[in-house]
A and B are shown apart, each in its own frame.
Chain A
Amino acid sequence: MKDESYEDDAEWFRAIIDRHAGSLHRYASSIVHSGETARDVVQETFVRLWREPRAAVEAHVVAWLFRVCRNRALDYQRKEGRMMPLDTTPVPEQAVETPPPDAATESRDSFSRILHMLNELPLNQREVVRLKFQNGLSYREIADITELSVGNVGMLLHTALKTLRARLAAAGE
């Protein structure tokens, strides 16, 4: 779909950066585990995007961006040797002065918990979970990005959710 608001390619491009740089950086960080490297990855992704004819990528630009980003990130990861994967679970803050309402505290506790469990899943499951639930991509888009079949993607998500459900139950949710 052509984005009608942007006649000028440069403006379109700038808007794409605005919309997706943050998500891409977060996604790249989950692979390379370094904020600086992730930034490089994202920059290179956008450099490549600029070189593509807009019409060719516009219709599926999000999947395109994630695929290129993923490939760059994996290149970096391979180059820098097999680093131990990080537990990138951010730890929620406990408000000091202003007590948060009960539900918010409790949900932050369970956020950390589920994110921790997520990081214990095998890498291939973790990846599709992030793409689906953090970036809102469809099975088809995830298949394009990861170069797996749609069936594989479905199976990975299914298994991941099943494990998370069971672990949450075991943790007394």
Chain B
Amino acid sequence: MNLTPDDPRLTAYAFGEITDPAELKAIEAAIAAKPELRQTVEAIHATAATLEQALSAENKAGLDAGAEAAMFAAATGKQDTGVKTRRLIRFPVLWPLLGAAAAVVLLIALLIPTGDAPRQIALDEVPVHKPAETHTPASDLDPRSLDTLFMPPGTHRSESDPSPSQQISSVEFYVDGASIGQNPLEGDAPSSPQTAPAPRMHIPAPMMAPAARPAVVRTRAVADSRAPHPEAFRQRTRPWNTDAFDPIEETGFRSPRLTPLSTFAIDVDTASYAVVRSHLERGVLPPHAAVRIEELVNYFPYADAPPATPVDEGGEPFAVHIEQAPAPWAPDHPLLRINLKGYEMPWDQRPPSNLVFLIDVSGSMNRPNRLPLVKDALGLLVERLDERDRVAIVVYAGNSQLTLPSTTANNRETIRHAIDQLVARGSTHASDGIQRAYKIARQHFIEGGNNRVILCTDGDFNVGITDRGELGDFVKKQADDGVSLAVLGFGMGNYKDNMLEHLSNKGSGVYGYIDSQDEARKFFLNQLVSNLFSIAHDVRIQVEFNPERVAGYRLIGYENRLMQAEDFHDDSKRAGQIGPGHTVTAFYEIIPAKGTVAVEAVDPLRYHTPAAAPDAMADELAWIKIRYKRPGEHSSELIELPVPVVSGSDLEAASADFRFGAAVAAFGMRLRESEHTANFSWRKIETLARSATADDPHGYRGDFLRLVRQAQHIADPN
């Protein structure tokens, strides 16, 4: 029998489902002959075991004890007399334990019926719950986000959903023959009979009303227009995407007549690219939710020119570049590329840095691509710093500990020694890790310098503030007061990815995902200056499209960076930050006004007759406004420029950076199974990118070509 590791029969065999003796024998022979088959079977068993444990830990007691009796009565019409021959064992020893520690939430209940199939709950399987853990979307950017449509009036809207009272397994406790009730720890508070699902409020960004949309929010959820029961609402969660292969609701084309303004915060994060890469290298497509197209495009350096006038001569911190060419996947749609390029800062002209590393050393960090990689990365960094800089290290794993007091960076041995000592250990008590880190940063604050807390984590971090909204607010306030945040993810896939990205945005810092030595070098050597420093913050862009020239426009990516139109002028709103030498690219796909497609087909407005644009603006496609704050400033400055109508442009004549960026955007769209790239194959993406890889000093573009091939291989194996 010719068995490959990917044969479903192996899985069936692993679970004892092969019953035909001849087939069984053949499979066993095949496994004996090929060691990789045996490894596959072992891997299947291991995954199955973890699944079983995880699933059995899921709350099985969503029904209170009365429910069963009620069901019996409803079905039979008889009075419930309980289950026959079930004996509950009493645990008098439990009582002091329960009484002593009100917060102990591990429960033991052992039921031994005389019949078969005992319903045993072993100690490590009893589910315990903590207050709702939320993915925090950028919903603070949009006060009219979808949740307010569904919240019962008067309910407080916050980023982290209020959790139900602690849910404890509904089990009867007996002490000395007398029942002490179901929840002896709760006193009189009844345990919630609802099921385990911890409520979350997670509004997928495209469902939020994007900038200035006057029409009714057009989303799936609105179809469910009956007001949900408040209890049901609290249980309801809206994950970004649970079915990995359903298309995401991308921002569709907007009509400038209805939605003339497109407003978004820039984003220089690159984590999504590394996460996507790490999935593809393992042979699977990434979940849609992991693919943030702007982060894929912005992963790569581009050759756009930095500002001509230096900042200290009155110049702006970044230059703005515009380019147009036909969209590769839709040649009759112009693609508009807007690019910001920050000024380059030579390393020796950098401001002094006051850095506090906040490092997760909980047990889960004890893997080769986690804590050891953190240590390598830090080592690289420390080599570059000198006596003008300061470094401190705070570790946390439940409790926090200052393992390196703030030390000037020329004491390399001392710092290296502290780094070497970092060891992943268990978690203990609730902590104040993040507050401590910021406190140290403040103690050694450098006026006019770069003061930053750098969080290094694998995603599961409990830094003392467990409420996600509170944590976001905390880091935002700190950033406003001069200490910003950078977030580095290690080895965590996209499990807490949205949360970490959100946090880095609030803290005005970059978010990177370090999955390898190469990535560590890219982050801490090649692009160190961009990542560690900030030359402008709260950078946001607003584009107004000319309805005479544009029938429809679509911003590619930036779904969770969209802002309300009126927030463009609001300096209290957090936007994006940009470091020296960073390039930030945004693409708009445009349907020219000659096109006959009905974009946002809505009934003609009754009161609004669009005035024709003056002739002088006839050659303008759009108008771009950019607001930004210089470091340390609290009020923003404005840059404005027109986008001319360009005719007769040719994709081949576009710059290499345009073509490469468009290829990466198309790649992201294809990974998300966007309808726009349904006919733009992987091969075409690769060809387009390849045409623009001449200038590739670090090999990043070559790596991208490899990823496209890999994605094609996974998506269409034949």
The closest CB in chain A to the CB of B170 belongs to: A22
Residues A50 and B104 in contact, CB atoms below 8 Å apart: no
Do A114 and B54 form a contact, CB below 8 Å, given A19-B117, A96-B429? yes
**Which of A21, A46, A104, A172 has most B Cβ within 10 Å?**
A172
Which of chain B's residues 352-395 have a Cβ closer than 8 Å to chain A?
A: 362-364, 367, 369-370
Q: Is A161 an interface residue (CB 8 A)?
A: yes
Query: How long is the Cα–Cα vector from A99 to B363 in the complex, in angstroms?
Result: 13
Residues of chain A within 8 A of B127, CB atoms compared: 90, 92
Query: How long is the Cα–Cα vector from A171 to B83 in the complex, in angstroms?
Result: 45
Residues A6 and B84 in contact, CB atoms below 8 Å apart: yes
Residues A11 and B60 in contact, CB atoms below 8 Å apart: no
Q: Is B43 an interface residue (CB 8 A)?
A: yes
Q: Is A146 an interface residue (CB 8 A)?
A: no
Residues of chain A within 8 A of B337, CB atoms compared: none
Residues B119 and A19 in contact, CB atoms below 8 Å apart: yes
Partner pick for B369 among A110, A112, A172, CB 8 A cutoff: A172
**How many residues on chain B are close to A (CB under 8 Å)?**
113
Q: Whole-angstrom distance from the CB of B370 to the nearest CB of chain A?
A: 6
Residues of chain A within 8 A of B83, CB atoms compared: 14-15, 17-18
Which of chain B's residues 419-447 have a Cβ closer than 8 Å to chain A?
A: 425-430
Residues B231 and A115 in contact, CB atoms below 8 Å apart: no
Query: How long is the Cα–Cα vector from A23 to B12 in the complex, in angstroms?
Result: 24
Residues A98 and B104 in contact, CB atoms below 8 Å apart: yes
Residues of chain A within 8 A of B239, CB atoms compared: 84-87, 119
Partner pick for B244 among A6, A46, A111, A122, CB 8 A cutoff: A122
Residues A13 and B369 in contact, CB atoms below 8 Å apart: no
**Which of A10, A94, A100 has most B Cβ within 10 Å?**
A94
Do A90 and B196 form a contact, CB below 8 Å, given A50-B75, A171-B492? yes
The closest CB in chain A to the CB of B224 belongs to: A81
The closest CB in chain A to the CB of B241 belongs to: A120
Pick from B61-69, B316-324, B477-485 the stretch touching chain A.
B61-69
Residues of chain A within 8 A of B287, CB atoms compared: 120
Q: Is B194 an interface residue (CB 8 A)?
A: yes
Query: How long is the Cα–Cα vector from A108 to B50 in the complex, in angstroms?
Result: 10
- How many A-B pairs have beta carbons closer than 8 Å: the answer is 306
Partner pick for A84 among B220, B245, B362, CB 8 A cutoff: B220
Residues B11 and A154 in contact, CB atoms below 8 Å apart: yes
Residues of chain A within 8 A of B101, CB atoms compared: 97-98
Q: Is A157 an interface residue (CB 8 A)?
A: yes
Query: How long is the Cα–Cα vector from A134 to B238 in the complex, in angstroms?
Result: 24
Do A102 and B363 form a contact, CB below 8 Å, given A18-B83, A83-B224, A90-B59? yes
Residues B493 and A170 in contact, CB atoms below 8 Å apart: yes
Do A118 and B51 form a contact, CB below 8 Å, given A18-B83, A88-B197? yes
Q: Is A74 an interface residue (CB 8 A)?
A: no
Pick from B275-283, B551-559, B652-660 the stretch touching chain A.
B275-283
Do A47 and B84 form a contact, CB below 8 Å, given A21-B63, A111-B57? no
Query: What string of 1s and 0s marks CB contacts (under 8 Å) between B463-500 and chain A?
Result: 00000000000000000000000000011110100000
Do A88 and B196 form a contact, CB below 8 Å, given A22-B61, A105-B426, A116-B495? yes
Query: How long is the Cα–Cα vector from A151 to B106 in the complex, in angstroms?
Result: 41
Which of chain B's residues 82-128 have a Cβ closer than 8 Å to chain A?
A: 82-86, 101, 103-106, 114-115, 117, 119, 124, 127-128
Residues B129 and A91 in contact, CB atoms below 8 Å apart: yes
Residues A92 and B62 in contact, CB atoms below 8 Å apart: no
Residues A120 and B55 in contact, CB atoms below 8 Å apart: no
Partner pick for B130 among A93, A138, A166, CB 8 A cutoff: A93
Query: How long is the Cα–Cα vector from A84 to B232 in the complex, in angstroms?
Result: 13
Residues A33 and B115 in contact, CB atoms below 8 Å apart: no
Q: Whole-angstrom distance from the CB of B172 to the nearest CB of chain A?
A: 13
Residues A122 and B55 in contact, CB atoms below 8 Å apart: no
Residues of chain A within 8 A of B515, CB atoms compared: 172
Do A158 and B220 form a contact, CB below 8 Å, given A6-B84, A130-B55? no
Do A119 and B50 form a contact, CB below 8 Å, given A29-B62, A29-B195, A86-B197? no
Residues of chain A within 8 A of B63, CB atoms compared: 21-22, 25, 39, 42
Do A26 and B54 form a contact, CB below 8 Å, given A21-B63, A102-B426, A165-B43? no
Q: Is B132 an interface residue (CB 8 A)?
A: yes
Query: How long is the Cα–Cα vector from A11 to B54 in the complex, in angstroms?
Result: 33
Q: Is A168 an interface residue (CB 8 A)?
A: yes
Residues A165 and B47 in contact, CB atoms below 8 Å apart: yes
Residues A172 and B370 in contact, CB atoms below 8 Å apart: yes
Query: How long is the Cα–Cα vector from A161 to B699 in the complex, in angstroms?
Result: 34
Query: What string of 1s and 0s marks CB contacts (under 8 Å) between B270-298 and chain A?
Result: 00000000110111100101000000000
Q: Whole-angstrom distance from the CB of B50 to the nearest CB of chain A?
A: 6
**How many residues on chain A are close to B (CB under 8 Å)?**
98
Do A139 and B17 form a contact, CB below 8 Å, given A84-B221, A99-B398, A172-B493? yes
Query: How long is the Cα–Cα vector from A154 to B10 in the complex, in angstroms?
Result: 10
Q: Whole-angstrom distance from the CB of B152 to the nearest CB of chain A?
A: 16
Which of chain A's residues 1-55 have a Cβ closer than 8 Å to chain B?
A: 3, 5-6, 10-11, 13-15, 17-19, 21-23, 25-26, 29, 33-36, 38-39, 42-43, 46-47, 49-50
Q: Whole-angstrom distance from the CB of B709 to the nearest CB of chain A?
A: 18
**Which of A14, A106, A163 has most B Cβ within 10 Å?**
A14
Residues A109 and B243 in contact, CB atoms below 8 Å apart: no
Query: How long is the Cα–Cα vector from A90 to B12 in the complex, in angstroms?
Result: 29
Query: How long is the Cα–Cα vector from A173 to B492 in the complex, in angstroms?
Result: 9
Query: How long is the Cα–Cα vector from A88 to B56 in the complex, in angstroms?
Result: 14
Residues of chain A within 8 A of B362, CB atoms compared: 105-106, 109
Q: Is B80 an interface residue (CB 8 A)?
A: yes
Query: How long is the Cα–Cα vector from A102 to B437 in the complex, in angstroms?
Result: 24
Residues B242 and A120 in contact, CB atoms below 8 Å apart: yes
Residues B56 and A134 in contact, CB atoms below 8 Å apart: yes
Q: Is A59 an interface residue (CB 8 A)?
A: no
Query: How long is the Cα–Cα vector from A166 to B229 in the complex, in angstroms?
Result: 39
Do A163 and B284 form a contact, CB below 8 Å, given A93-B105, A98-B104, A157-B11? yes
Q: Is A169 an interface residue (CB 8 A)?
A: yes
Q: Is A60 an interface residue (CB 8 A)?
A: no
Do A25 and B195 form a contact, CB below 8 Å, given A13-B76, A97-B104, A133-B51? yes
Partner pick for A29 among B197, B430, B493, CB 8 A cutoff: B197
Residues B60 and A96 in contact, CB atoms below 8 Å apart: no
Q: Is B600 an interface residue (CB 8 A)?
A: no
Query: How long is the Cα–Cα vector from A26 to B59 in the complex, in angstroms?
Result: 7
The closest CB in chain A to the CB of B63 belongs to: A25
Query: How long is the Cα–Cα vector from A66 to B419 in the complex, in angstroms?
Result: 54
Which of chain B's residues 12-53 have a Cβ closer than 8 Å to chain A?
A: 12, 15, 17, 43-44, 47-48, 50-53
Q: Is A155 an interface residue (CB 8 A)?
A: yes
Residues A171 and B491 in contact, CB atoms below 8 Å apart: yes
Residues A162 and B53 in contact, CB atoms below 8 Å apart: no
* Additional A-B contacts beyond A87-B242, A94-B398, A101-B426 (6; CB < 8 A): A86-B236, A90-B129, A100-B427, A121-B243, A154-B17, A172-B367
- 25 A-B pairs in the complex with CB atoms less than 8 angstroms apart: A14-B81, A15-B84, A21-B67, A22-B60, A33-B197, A33-B235, A33-B236, A34-B232, A34-B236, A39-B62, A43-B75, A46-B72, A83-B236, A88-B197, A95-B104, A102-B425, A108-B57, A109-B363, A111-B54, A111-B57, A118-B54, A118-B55, A170-B281, A172-B491, A172-B492
**6 A-B pairs with the lowest CB-CB distances in the bound complex, closest first:** A172-B491, A171-B493, A102-B426, A93-B128, A158-B8, A35-B195
Residues of B within 8 A of A (CB): 6, 8-12, 15, 17, 43-44, 47-48, 50-63, 67-68, 70-72, 74-76, 78, 80-86, 101, 103-106, 114-115, 117, 119, 124, 127-130, 132-133, 193-198, 200, 202, 220-221, 223-224, 229, 231-232, 235-239, 241-245, 278-279, 281-284, 287, 289, 362-364, 367, 369-370, 398, 425-430, 458, 460, 462, 490-493, 495, 515
